[in-house]
Structure 1
Amino acid sequence: MLSGKNILLGITGGIAAYKTTFLVRLLIKAGAQVKVVMTQSAGSFVSPLTLSTLSKNPVLMDFINQEDGSLSWNNHVELGLWADVMIIAPATANTLSKMAHGTCDNLLMATYLSAKCPVYFAPAMDLDMYKHPSTKASFDNLQSFGNIMIPAESGELASGLHGEGRMAEPEAIIQFLIKDLTKDLPLNGKQVLITAGPTHEAIDPVRFLGNRSSGTMGFELAKQAANLGAQVILVSGPTNLSVLENSNIDLVNVTSAQEMYDACHEHYDQVDVAICAAAVADYRPKNIATEKIKKKDGDLNIELERNPDILFSLGEKKKNQFLVGFALETENELENAKGKLKRKNLDAIILNSLKDEGAGFGGSTNKITFIDKNLEIKTFGLKTKPEVASDIWEEIITRIHA
């Protein structure tokens, strides 16, 4: 959820400011772009150099920069427009009061007042300050403006007292952000199962039968589902792809069709949507050699047996799941896809034709036709695979929310 987002972190002068080094690190690890604006007093608690190094951006503390005898302006308006999310952590009682009353006496406050994005604030102060009526009034005012409060935690405070007022831990702030940002997304609360990539069917310890699938389509479908708020179980055959550290995607690596079958059935009962985008081998060697097969004169014959049909088995077991399959065809494309849709008890099928240039395995683009169980057909032009994934999810969401 945070990958690719521009996050502006405002740091104010409280002892909890030391935690922001960990917060910046976690935001960067989640794939966000981070810029830091600090008050002058915050620099007494945490090093701007440390934050600059971690965020890979200069830390801003004043309206004016003076370097090598020249002056430049830190544009608070541009900062406010740049941010997708603004977090003020720690938010001291002093800063909360300024925010609540529009007091604009430093760069951070000017940037806050210019922000067009959601603003989150994480209070941090001593127990009595936290409970003071003026502080509670600041909380109420800020939330009435549309700002979002990340509640303080209870524990040992800098004064030695125990109680409410500790700034939320960096991990808790990250989880709060993700939960809040996903709450209005169309797949929030949904569990999704996606298969991706090829399967490798062993011939001997060093050789296998496989295909040219890169897994890109399945991985893009998984990323898009996660960005739409779903919890994704991605069952992938051997690929060179990754999902980085997306907490919404649980990657299950498998090798063979049987392993993929087992993994799908392990999770299928708990999901709302299942998309079988993997290019599963239809056959496997009946007997796998325990030692490397040596080259000999003459031909080598390998007896093959059928692999389990994962998509068919899920269609048989289907209860309330929305089940989607893929059909890669070379002739009678539409009729073959419709037959597979009915035969395997699917809710929709995605048709690829190898006759379409830029479609199919191995490339960065695809061209699809979406067919649902009512035989409503929608054909899309050639697009990049991330764009195709977006189109597929748009069609699915329209139907599951109908």
Structure 2
Amino acid sequence: MTLRERRILIGVTGGIAAYKVCELVRRLRDLDADVRIVMTEGATHFVTPTTFQALSGQPVRVSLWDEAGEAAMGHIELAKWAERVLIAPASADTIARLAHGFANDLLSTVVLATAAPVYVAPAMNQQMWANLAVQANIGTLRVRGVQVLGPADGDQACGDIGSGRMLEPHELRDIMVASFGEQPLRGRRVVVSAGPTYEDIDPVRFIGNRSSGRMGFAVAAAARDAGADVTLIAGPVSLPTPPGVNRVDVRSARQMHDAVLAATEGADIYIGAAAVGDYRPSETAGHKLKKAGGEPLRLELTENPDIIGALAALPRRPFLVGFAAETRDVAGYARDKLARKGLDMIAANEVGEGRGFEVADNALHLFWADGDVALPRVAKTELARQLLTHVAHRFLASQGLRS
């Protein structure tokens, strides 16, 4: 893993998480990256420019009105120099100014003037992050192609617990490394569903499908590494959110249906890796059901809405990739589902004892209208990368583009 001669501009804004950026700079420099720092005035109250100068080996810029730095239009030189712009931590104030196109300090001016990909790593109080104004600004940045990295959940400096923590330095470093790899889906929006769905019988019991969510989460991370802006619709699983991926948690099939349709509005690709329940109880008991003296319990089930079917019927539908988990005749069932559902591609795998579910590795057989390819059993993280390579190739071909 190397970043030799790669030029990364880090924008540091006012927030306690600024101290973590010291380690980030060191980690990037350990990979031989060329790192330069622009700080806002607020950031200097948390970490001094001298610290970042010592870590980066380069002068640190703070003011747009620095006579020496701006003698030759330094903000334009910085904007042209950068191959990547990473703002970490990204405060609510800076996010707002970027969303509204302000250029009243050096960092916002550089961002407006650069053609390099821009990444923001938000860091703020959990209630600030949840504020509708902040979420609207984040939505604006996403639409414009800015990559939003995090935030993570956990303890915060203010004592609160929730979403708003900046991603850890090693996570941001790894995203920067991945960004310089082949990114065929840069600028594209991808939605991935993952995990099971649960349908409540009563307040204690439910019915659901077996799924750890590992494959879908690996697919979301691989789509992120391919350059996409990724939204992950996750069923009830205990997995950490891949850094840089926007996560929406759901429980039931109907909740997943609604979340997927909302997230795919304007999306380019949908990858349905979730194990969505086909049926739900017609009624959910308000209290725990008791045994009836040896009498059988009969549940009436109602069919859940078809997520893929709803997407396929859209006037402007995304490129649709389905999954088929089968216990026999994998190829036959997969080809039937491909045609019946109107999918662009389907990833099929055999499931059973030690295969598919709740294991760290898997194998897939991909099918599309005029071809197929078998992906041998490997770790799910590697399998997801291979899958995304084929998805990107088929998607770009459908757009008349080369991968």
Name the TM tier (shorter chain): 0.5 to 0.7
Residue pair 2:311, 2:317 contacting (<8 A) in 1 also = no
| TM-score (ref. length: structure 1) | 0.64
Asked whether 1:34 is paired with 2:30, we answer no
1:284 aligns to what? Answer: 280
Amino acid corresponding to residue 284 of structure 1 in structure 2: R
Residue pair 2:36, 2:56 contacting (<8 A) in 1 also = no
Render the CA deviation track for 1:348-400: whole Å, top value 9, x for unaligned. 00010126x753111111111011122x1101111111011101100011112
- For residue 83 of structure 1, the aligned residue among 31, 43, 47 is 31
- For residue 344 of structure 1, the aligned residue among 341, 345, 355 is 341
Asked whether 1:265 is paired with 2:261, we answer yes
* Cα distance in structure 2, aligned partners of 1:241 and 1:109: 37
Asked whether 1:387 is paired with 2:377, we answer no
- For residue 298 of structure 2, the aligned residue among 292, 301, 310 is 301
Residue pair 1:220, 1:386 contacting (<8 A) in 2 also = yes
* Cα distance in structure 1, aligned partners of 2:315 and 2:212: 28
Structure 1 position 288, deviation (Å): 0.9
Query: Which of 173-182 and 185-194 deviates more?
Result: 173-182
- Three-state SS of the structure 1 residue aligned to 2:67 is helix
Residue pair 1:7, 1:35 contacting (<8 A) in 2 also = no
Q: 1:89 to 1:324 in 2, by over 3 A?
A: same
Query: Which of 325-334 and 386-395 deviates more?
Result: 325-334
Structure 1 position 293, deviation (Å): 0.8
Asked whether 1:128 is paired with 2:76, we answer no
Where structure 1 has 5 or more consecutive residues not aligned to the other structure, the ranges are 37-54, 56-78, 92-107, 113-119, 152-163
- For residue 240 of structure 2, the aligned residue among 236, 242, 251 is 242
1:209 aligns to what? Answer: 207
Render the CA deviation track for 1:106-162: whole Å, top value 9, x for unaligned. xx89986xxxxxxx98633553223324x75x975x889x665979xxxxxxxxxxx
Q: How does 1:1-400 map to 2 (within 5 A)?
A: 22-25=17-20, 27=21, 34=24, 36=26, 82-83=30-31, 85-89=33-37, 123-124=61-62, 126-133=65-72, 168=107, 176-177=118-119, 185-243=183-241, 246-247=243-244, 249-298=245-294, 299-317=296-314, 319-354=316-351, 358-374=354-370, 376-400=371-395
- Three-state SS of the structure 2 residue aligned to 1:401 is helix
* Cα distance in structure 2, aligned partners of 1:233 and 1:324: 15
Query: Which of 197-206 and 183-192 deviates more?
Result: 183-192
Structure 1 position 88, deviation (Å): 2.5
Q: 1:379 to 1:9 in 2, by over 3 A?
A: closer
Amino acid corresponding to residue 257 of structure 2 in structure 1: Y
Residue pair 1:8, 1:83 contacting (<8 A) in 2 also = no
Question: Rg: which structure is higher?
Answer: 1
Structure 1 position 252, deviation (Å): 1.1
Residue pair 1:130, 1:165 contacting (<8 A) in 2 also = no
Q: 1:148 to 1:216 in 2, by over 3 A?
A: closer
Residue pair 1:90, 1:121 contacting (<8 A) in 2 also = no
- Three-state SS of the structure 1 residue aligned to 2:324 is strand
- Three-state SS of the structure 1 residue aligned to 2:185 is coil
Q: 1:7 to 1:130 in 2, by over 3 A?
A: closer
- Three-state SS of the structure 2 residue aligned to 1:220 is helix
* Cα distance in structure 1, aligned partners of 2:105 and 2:322: 50
* Cα distance in structure 2, aligned partners of 1:325 and 1:195: 10
* Cα distance in structure 2, aligned partners of 1:330 and 1:364: 19
* Cα distance in structure 2, aligned partners of 1:110 and 1:383: 39
Render the CA deviation track for 1:231-270: whole Å, top value 9, x for unaligned. 11211110001215x34x2211111111111111222231
* Cα distance in structure 2, aligned partners of 1:149 and 1:284: 47
Q: 1:130 to 1:216 in 2, by over 3 A?
A: same
- Three-state SS of the structure 2 residue aligned to 1:380 is strand
- Three-state SS of the structure 2 residue aligned to 1:127 is coil
Q: 1:201 to 1:143 in 2, by over 3 A?
A: closer
Where structure 2 has 5 or more consecutive residues not aligned to the other structure, the ranges are 40-52, 87-102, 121-145, 148-175, 398-403
Amino acid corresponding to residue 221 of structure 2 in structure 1: K
Structure 1 position 19, deviation (Å): 6.7
- Three-state SS of the structure 1 residue aligned to 2:276 is coil
Render the CA deviation track for 1:193-246: whole Å, top value 9, x for unaligned. 1111100001001110012201111111111111222111211110001215x3
Structure 1 position 306, deviation (Å): 1.1
Residue pair 1:87, 1:121 contacting (<8 A) in 2 also = no
Residue pair 2:12, 2:18 contacting (<8 A) in 1 also = no
